[in-house]
Structure 1
Amino acid sequence: MTTTRAAEHAYEQLAHHLRVGRFAAGARLPGERELSEELGVSRATLRAGLGRLESEGQVHRSAQRGWFVPRQVIGEPPSTLQTFSEMAHARGLRPTARVLRQEVRPATMDEADKLRIAPASPVIQIDRLRGMDGTPVCFDVVVLPEHRAAGLLEADLTDASLYDELRSRCGIAIHRSAYTLTAALADADLARLLETTVGAAVLVGDEVAYTSDGTPVLIGFNKYRGDAYRFAADLYRPV
């Protein structure tokens, strides 16, 4: 069997195992030595097949840990503003969060412009690593004016929805969000947080959230694993 054909064989066999559910979502694949012996190919040939599956989003590689099947891809319903926790619960998954930062600092010029506050005004920055059923999915950063959201400084946001805490502690209800989504590659720090590889695809969400009267109250930056998030939208042509 030629090297090319052997790699194709490895790819086809592994793709079949994934289709029939031999490897469950979130599961770690057997080691490369075991798989190469089972498929009758070299480890280099096996890696070629795994690399093709990785490019298709069917598996992903974790440094020092091996190959894994991605967990269930999450996605936002079209034209619906949902929190991360709401998305998880809607799919029967358990949302998790690790708070990495929760403090006051001066606003940058860009933040002040978006939030319609004076430059260098105090803002609260909250950084969280969000996950579903224990798997890291999103690195989330939010920035809010301190004079509007001071109650969040003492909030325990490990298991709570920030939108819910903002409503209950500060009397602020988010009505709409101006949201943009771009593609990027994970650097070393982000790859470590999301347990993926350097250079892996990520989706970067940039939002400004408003109350019903049009007051901007929150800036958000969300970096999602590209193999675990899907954004959907309804698009219309003018009549």
Structure 2
Amino acid sequence: MEDTRAGAAVSQTYRQLSDALRRGVYPAGSRLPGERDLATTLGVSRSTLRLALGKLAEENKLERSSQRGWFVRRDVVGEPPSTLQSFSEMARARGLRPQSEVLHRRVRPAAFEEAEQLAIAPASRVLDLRRLRRLDGVPVCVDSSVVVLALAPRLAEIDLTDRSLYETLEQDCGLRIARSSYTVRAAAADPATAELLDIEPGAPVLIGEELTYADDGSLILAGRMVYRSDAYRFQADLFRPIRS
């Protein structure tokens, strides 16, 4: 009988929290009140509350940080497997509004290492671009790109605020982007990046590094994207070679 009552209390708490999430009492990305305060508000024990919270976490509605408490999950963005999409294209495909704030923009000579990476002559002109990318106003990514201006000279004059770099290269510069060599690694956010992304210094981030090619094989740009780990995932199809 006691187990039945306990189960009913968990179910009722789960329904109350689910309803609060549905009504936007706790917006996406927000932190829930502490367990003690939340249990008092709902009139249940902390053990009952934790079981209800755990059920919501299993449904990917909440996530728990061991040091910071319970958070409402954000909409998670990620590339479809084997498809090269821009940040803006990913966002729009999910019904989200992409935004880009230009933090730094400068035409300069390529450094020796950049020239080697991009297969251009040292001191060739490049556009050094750094932007903060948002989804529906939420900071998600710090995006840095070094673009070969010999391939896209018009880019030096185009304002890239709230614009897709890929789409601008294709529509305004006549380049067709064909593929990207892309790697992802985990890291801890440095203080400057953490401030931009509205996370704690040292919080986990995912760093994507790319080399992007045109359809004629020319290297167009080298990019580095730092994503909040709670707002991005990377997917890929992996194949084993056929052995004869």
Question: Which category describes the TM-score, using the shorter chain as reference length?
Answer: 0.7 to 0.9
Q: What SS is found at the alignment partner of 1:165?
A: helix
In structure 2, the partner of 1:189 is: 192
Normalised by the size of structure 2, how large is the TM-score? 0.77
Report the alpha carbon displacement of residue 36 of structure 1 after superposing the two structures with TM: 5.7
Equivalent pair of 1:76/1:232 in contact (CA under 8 Å)? yes
In structure 2, the partner of 1:7 is: none
Larger Rg: 2
Normalised by the size of structure 1, how large is the TM-score? 0.78
Q: 1:80 to 1:31 in 2, by over 3 A?
A: same
Report the alpha carbon displacement of residue 17 of structure 1 after superposing the two structures with TM: 7.0
Equivalent pair of 2:130/2:143 in contact (CA under 8 Å)? yes
Q: 1:28 aligns with which of 3, 27, 30?
A: 30
Equivalent pair of 2:187/2:206 in contact (CA under 8 Å)? yes
Q: How many residues align?
A: 216
Identity %: 47
Report the alpha carbon displacement of residue 179 of structure 1 after superposing the two structures with TM: 0.5
Report the alpha carbon displacement of residue 16 of structure 1 after superposing the two structures with TM: 4.2
In structure 1, the partner of 2:76 is: 73
In structure 2, the partner of 1:198 is: 201
1: CA distance, partners of 2:136 / 2:157: 25
For the pair 1:160 / 2:163, whether they are aligned, the reply is yes
Q: Which amino acid is 2:160 matched to?
A: L
Q: Which moved more, 1:166-175 or 1:26-35?
A: 26-35
Q: Give the unaligned 5+ runs of structure 2.
A: 1-9
Q: Which amino acid is 1:20 matched to?
A: S
Q: Which moved more, 1:220-229 or 1:157-166?
A: 157-166
Q: Which amino acid is 2:164 matched to?
A: S
Cα root mean square deviation, aligned: 3.1
The 5 Å alignment of 1:80-229 reads: 80-229=83-232
Equivalent pair of 1:57/1:227 in contact (CA under 8 Å)? no
Q: Which amino acid is 2:150 matched to?
A: H
Report the alpha carbon displacement of residue 231 of structure 1 after superposing the two structures with TM: 0.5
Report the alpha carbon displacement of residue 191 of structure 1 after superposing the two structures with TM: 0.7
Q: 1:198 to 1:118 in 2, by over 3 A?
A: same
1: CA distance, partners of 2:241 / 2:160: 42
1: CA distance, partners of 2:110 / 2:16: 48
Q: What SS is found at the alignment partner of 2:215?
A: coil
Q: 1:80 to 1:238 in 2, by over 3 A?
A: same
In structure 1, the partner of 2:41 is: 38
2: CA distance, partners of 1:60 / 1:111: 40
Q: 1:108 to 1:137 in 2, by over 3 A?
A: same
